[in-house]
Structure 1
Amino acid sequence: MSEKIASAIRGAVPDGVIDSGESGGVPVFRLKPEAVLPVCRCLKDSLELRFDYPESITGVDRGDRIELIYHLSSLLTGAKVILRTDIAGDDPTADSVVSVWKGANWQEREIFDLLGVKFRNHPDLRRILLPEGWDGYPLRKDYVIPENDRHFLPDDWSVLCEDTEPEAPVCVTEEDGTVICEPGRFRTEEIQINMGPQHPSTHGVLRLLLTLDGEIVVDCRPDIGYLHRGMEKLAEMRTYIQFIPITDRFDYLSSMLNNAVYVGALEKLGGIEVPERVEYIRVIMMELQRIASHLVFYGSMALDLGATTPFLYAFREREDIIDLFEMTCGARLTYNYFRPGGVSRDLPDEFVPKCREFISKMRKRLPEYDALFTENEIFLLRTRGVGVISAEDAKDYGMSGPNLRGSGVAYDVRKADPYSIYNRFEFDVAVRQEGDVLSRYLVRLQEIRESLRIIEQALDGLPDGKVNYKLPPVFKLPEGEVYHHIESSRGDLGCFIISDGSPKPYRLKWRAPSFISLQALPKMVKGWKVADVVAAVGSLDIVLGEVDR
């Protein structure tokens, strides 16, 4: 496959390849800046290669230049490729690839926002995480953080306001030329309303600027960044070990999985061997975390649509999982449990019987969940056929996890690119074909059942052994880079690290599935009513801590 990729790239731009190699078994091509767009279009349009999944686009400040790195995948063949290009640092400009993949839109906006790269022909190039008017680009190495650490407060707040024209009076011109305004005379016009950022159905500080014709959504523009904390910049200022507890704060409903992808990247680059017992413990914890997260989805989805009881049921079972986490690591939300080559402490003696008890209880409760909510006629009317996104559009946006599998694409990182010891367990990938709100809901409920299967197998095969790896007093990684990804509760969660050999990462990029999936929301809600927007947002199961980072 590598030869076919190389042949296609050199055929598209005979003089555009500067050099080539590989990284972790993945072919890498360094291109001239003007060659990136035609190469990307060639890789996607090729019937044999079909690179249809824009996994991650990263910008890196190299001091004298800005480097752009494209991690691309084919969901059809499983092939991967990395493209790299360098652009001048004074006024960095590159061609946008949004015309190739819609999913590049927000990723390019993020690079513009944090590194100042301008993308030619981008349809909506403006800041995305920071407010308009912000001075500087925080991921530049020469960016100076204010000493007083104050948040950005502009002198003129009008720079943050959108231009608005005064509303014209609703008047009617009679045949004789008389202009009158009568209470009984009506006309229709589009209006804009804000849904959020303080709204219970947006699942956090998310603002949706909705354009409505009556109650029908004509346009939807998500506005994010209210919870932006500069996590990737923080990574450059912390040692590798110090950053582990910060990963808990990305997707705070799946902290164990955040730990897992970050620690997995460190282990891959550092060549750290993980003990057998640790692998089994990690799988158990990751799948328990997946169930806990999906239970929050089930309960909050019900609340969004007006049902209170399912929320109480879901949190009743989630409490059992949180108790298991607490008895193991002492925390109930942000766990800081994974370590390079191990975990912070072994499972207590009472963990295994309590976990088996939970599995038995959860399996008995799932039919109650279906009877209470899944089979509810009102719920079905609110979700079936609503917020549909096709398989092709879902891939084009870079969606993943239940949101992608709900559109009929059976892509699960645990199966497609196995990590840890997932290839030892039997489980099915939950898939639905409809692509609507209901299908995304049903995929998550089926995933709970499959996670219970995995946990049970892991408990049966749990070996004895040590649970940690002796780290040096100052933990460093060798010079180089690594991209590691896992299947989180929300989809394809990736961590890209560039190491310069020091105790801190030179660059860390977090591939957040909530961020990627949210940009597809306008496609899903146009033509539906405001109440359907609530259902569509809930079905995406976003966490704003992960969106904004």
Structure 2
Amino acid sequence: MNETIKIFHGPQHPGVTGNMSMELDLDGETIVKATTHVGYLHRGFEKLIERRTAIQAFTIVCRICVPEPDPNEENFARGVEELAGLTISERAKYIRVMVLEMARLQAHYLWMAGQGGSIGHEVVPQWAVGERDFILDLFEQLTGGRVYHMYIYPGGVKRDLPDGFLDRLRDLLDTLERRLPEYDRIFFDNAGVKKRLQNVGVVKRDEAIANGYTGPVIRACGIQRDVRRDSPYLVYDQLEFDVPTQTGCDAYARALVRRAEMDQSIRILRQIIDRMPAGEIQCKLPKHRKFKLPKGETFVQTESARGAYGFYMAGDDSEYLRRLQVRGPSIVHAYTLLEPLLVGAQLSDVALIMNSLGICPPEIER
């Protein structure tokens, strides 16, 4: 009779496969049971925000997902605006889309670095982290911060574009677009990468629909779902872009979806550069202590690099939110999906599967 052994994958490693812990029961190197444990990273955001005014709280939401904080800022700002009846300018909308697509692009580079490192491909992490840094350079010029930006603000954005910013962004897009075929050659078309990712972490199409999976996970099952297209916000309905899909349903299909999305983000950013309107970046707001949210509720969504991101927000005629609830992709991807998906997988595939799902642990214990 075989005896199982129990090990913990994380939280001692950096990145998504480390700041949450997977309790694994193993028969040899085959996983027979997987249990998710969270709470090893910052948490409790919903209650922290409810105990601060709406203006104070905007600095907190970006920390819910470190690899891509900007969708949280946009959700929070747009939710406050809907509750307060604020209308932002076209220029502010275009700048927000620019920020969101830059954030999506750098998040995909970070994912590529993590997945390459999990496979043992040493070149890809170095390249991807380096080119992500060029995007972070632009974020630093725009917002003053490289990771946390606190830039998308109720009523618009915090400051206008620096002189020459759009030209620098266009030059960077040229560089990234020229370099991406090299990633295809050494990573996405690499026989070793295909062997490690194909037929690993297979998600059934009907389960993806029934359980509300989102982002690259559901699009890798051949389902064309994207909040930007299905429920347009800001100026996405004025922009041309495709929603890439694959039908392999495995970790490799999810990788190909992300790769194609990088091309689409560059395509969107080029349109933003060409169409950026003039105008104000911030509508007039009441004084901080007089900024009250009327009684009412709203639900807003953005499409992050990892999938649909939703904020439920309710006001009660005070400067505080009566209720905030965050629904990020990790809630279904790290529990409903990850635990059964790991059963039958090999120990060496755990990091690959987790990376392919796009998990941010603070979204779970929020």
TM-score exceeds 0.5: yes
Aligned counterpart, 1:49:
none
Whether 1:258 aligns to 2:65 is no
Name the structure with the higher strand share. 1
CA deviation after TM superposition for structure 1 residue 397, in Å: 2.5
Whether 1:192 aligns to 2:6 is yes
Aligned counterpart, 1:531:
348
CA distance in 1, matches of 2:64, 2:276: 29
Aligned counterpart, 1:458:
272
Q: Max radius of gyration: which structure? A: 1
Query: Taking structure 1 as reference, are residues 228 and 315 closer, same or farther at Cα in structure 2, changes over 3 Å only?
Result: closer
| 1:503 aligned partner, one-letter code | E
Length-normalised TM-score, structure 2: 0.96
Aligned counterpart, 1:181:
none
CA deviation after TM superposition for structure 1 residue 202, in Å: 4.8
1:517 to 333, 350, 357: 333
Query: Taking structure 1 as reference, are residues 388 and 269 closer, same or farther at Cα in structure 2, changes over 3 Å only?
Result: same
Deviates more, 1:223-232 or 1:254-263: 223-232
Judge conservation of contact 2:118–2:351 (CA < 8 Å) in 1: yes
Name the structure with the higher helix share. 2
CA distance in 1, matches of 2:332, 2:80: 24
CA distance in 2, matches of 1:191, 1:380: 30
Whether 1:425 aligns to 2:239 is yes
Whether 1:275 aligns to 2:89 is yes
CA distance in 2, matches of 1:254, 1:470: 28
SS in 2 for 1:220: strand
Judge conservation of contact 1:521–1:537 (CA < 8 Å) in 2: yes
Whether 1:312 aligns to 2:129 is no
SS in 2 for 1:279: helix
Any unmatched runs of 5+ in structure 2?
none
CA deviation after TM superposition for structure 1 residue 271, in Å: 1.8
Backbone CA RMSD of aligned residues: 1.3
Alignment size in residue pairs: 363
CA deviation after TM superposition for structure 1 residue 248, in Å: 1.2
| 1:373 aligned partner, one-letter code | F
SS in 1 for 2:108: helix
Aligned counterpart, 1:475:
291
CA distance in 2, matches of 1:253, 1:202: 9
CA distance in 1, matches of 2:267, 2:224: 19
Higher relative contact order (CA 8 A, sep 6+): 2
Judge conservation of contact 1:201–1:304 (CA < 8 Å) in 2: no
Any unmatched runs of 5+ in structure 1?
1-186
CA distance in 2, matches of 1:373, 1:282: 31
CA deviation after TM superposition for structure 1 residue 226, in Å: 2.2
Judge conservation of contact 2:49–2:324 (CA < 8 Å) in 1: yes
SS in 2 for 1:248: helix
Aligned counterpart, 2:21:
207
1:354 to 145, 150, 168: 168
Query: Taking structure 1 as reference, are residues 340 and 200 closer, same or farther at Cα in structure 2, changes over 3 Å only?
Result: closer
Judge conservation of contact 1:201–1:534 (CA < 8 Å) in 2: no
2:358 to 541, 544, 548: 541
SS in 1 for 2:303: strand
Length-normalised TM-score, structure 1: 0.65
SS in 2 for 1:506: strand
Aligned counterpart, 2:55:
241
Superposed, 1:368-379 pairs within 5 Å as: 368-379=182-193
Percent identity, aligned pairs only? 38
CA deviation after TM superposition for structure 1 residue 516, in Å: 2.1
CA deviation after TM superposition for structure 1 residue 200, in Å: 4.5
| 1:544 aligned partner, one-letter code | P
CA distance in 2, matches of 1:395, 1:227: 30
Judge conservation of contact 2:10–2:17 (CA < 8 Å) in 1: no
Aligned counterpart, 2:33:
219
SS in 1 for 2:36: strand
